[in-house]
Amino acid sequence: MTLDAWGDFKVDDYEHVFKEFGLSKFNYYDLTEHYLFKRKIIIAERDFDKIAKAIKNKTKFLQMTGIASSGDLHFGHKLNVDFFLLFKKLGAKSKFCISDIDAYISRDDKKMSSLEQSKENAVKNIADLIALGISPKDIYVQSNKEKEYYTFSYEISKKITRNMFEAIYGHVDLGKVGAVFLQLADILHVQLPFMFGKAPTITGIGLDQDPHARLTRDVSRKVNYDLITPSFFYFQHQSGLKEGKKMSKSEPDTAIFLNDTEKDVKKKINKSFTGGRDTVEEQKQKGGNPDICKVYEMFKFHQPDNNFLETTHDECKKGKLLCGECKQNCIKFLNEFLAQHKKKYEKALPLAKKIVNE
């Protein structure tokens, strides 16, 4: 079995993937009271014990994550940012990478025709990240990195053979090979002396990104640098608003984007897949099924109020809450969030431009 790190698929059979790739089930939910831990959004890990120890003992640890600047950000990306903010709060020295080179070289020309296009996306993405609460000091753009970073990425390229690449990814596409060298450099370089220095490092990813994690860990043991093999946690992807779909930049109706209008949000939530019954009467009698519902899922991933979430689940199951009202709650929640977000985004834009063009 090969996971496609660039594909647009949903992992349905977690148990199978855990077994096949030797992941450990996540078992550190008591580490913090944060809603993302309470709701068990993290499902698996590699070497998380080093991070748990560092958090408990308040010793140095690092976190490194990032996104490719391949388009507008949606609520699936917000989840990644929420985890980043949480680990920063737990004490991690942190860096968030905007992978503009990766976004350009690993996508075909129809999706990304120039590095300039990728940099334009990077400006918008950075303004979104700042608006979501990430400190500008924690953000860097791949194409602006220093000489030491690129020297390090060449060293990494020396340790990856064609066979290793093919065994992990199932192909050798040159654009993607180049992008992988940089991704590995991103995750590992934070431990170099010119950055934070050697320390346990955590990166949060979706299960489909595990090929990168395995290769990064493998290479960290082979390069001629003093590094601690990085740890990873794996979070559930928020699924798309339509049945059986992943949130996708290429299918706008599957996701709520951070630049969606009030009208877009209303339309998308009203059309989303729910766990409701065919008729109001039936739903009042038998109750709905929040566990398959995309509206409930939106609350589960993004509404921090635990009481609200529990009440929604409970009342849905008892048939006391109907989908019409529940969707209105969701539309209101998202539009209030986005109204605030847009103000912060506009304020952050000049700084985002400066970061990309520095």
Residues that bind ligand SF4 (CB under 6 A): 274-276, 288, 290, 293, 295-296, 312, 316, 321-323, 326-327
Core vs surface per residue 176-198: b (16+ CB within 10 A) or e: bbbbbbbbbbbbbbbbbeebbee
Nearer to ligand SF4, 204 or 275 (CB): 275
Q: How far is the CB of 35 from ligand SF4 (least distance, A)?
A: 17
The CB density around residue 11, as the number of other CB atoms within 10 Å, is: 17
Three-state DSSP class for residue 44 = strand
Nearer to ligand SF4, 24 or 311 (CB): 311
Nearer to ligand SF4, 153 or 312 (CB): 312
Q: ∠352-212-18 over CA atoms, to 5°? A: 125
Q: How far is the CB of 258 from ligand SF4 (least distance, A)?
A: 22
Q: How far is the CB of 322 from ligand SF4 (least distance, A)?
A: 6
Query: Which residue carries 């109020």 as its tokens?
Result: 305
**Angle at which helices 306-317 and 323-357 cross, to 10°:** 150
Whole-Å CA distances, 336 to 256, 272, 341, 342 = 13, 19, 9, 10
DSSP of 209-225, one letter per residue? GHHHHHHHHHHHHHSSS
Q: How far is the CB of 296 from ligand SF4 (least distance, A)?
A: 4
What is residue 240's DSSP assignment?
A: P
Q: How far is the CB of 270 from ligand SF4 (least distance, A)?
A: 11
Residues whose CB is less than 8 angstroms from the CB of residue 197 and which lie 6 or more positions away in sequence, other chains included: 191
Nearer to ligand SF4, 199 or 322 (CB): 322
Q: How far is the CB of 288 from ligand SF4 (least distance, A)?
A: 3
Nearer to ligand SF4, 98 or 321 (CB): 321
Nearer to ligand SF4, 170 or 304 (CB): 304
Nearer to ligand SF4, 74 or 313 (CB): 313
Whole-Å CA distances, 180 to 4, 101, 154, 253, 276 = 13, 11, 11, 30, 43
Q: How far is the CB of 201 from ligand SF4 (least distance, A)?
A: 38
Query: Which residue carries 């949060």 as its tokens?
Result: 204
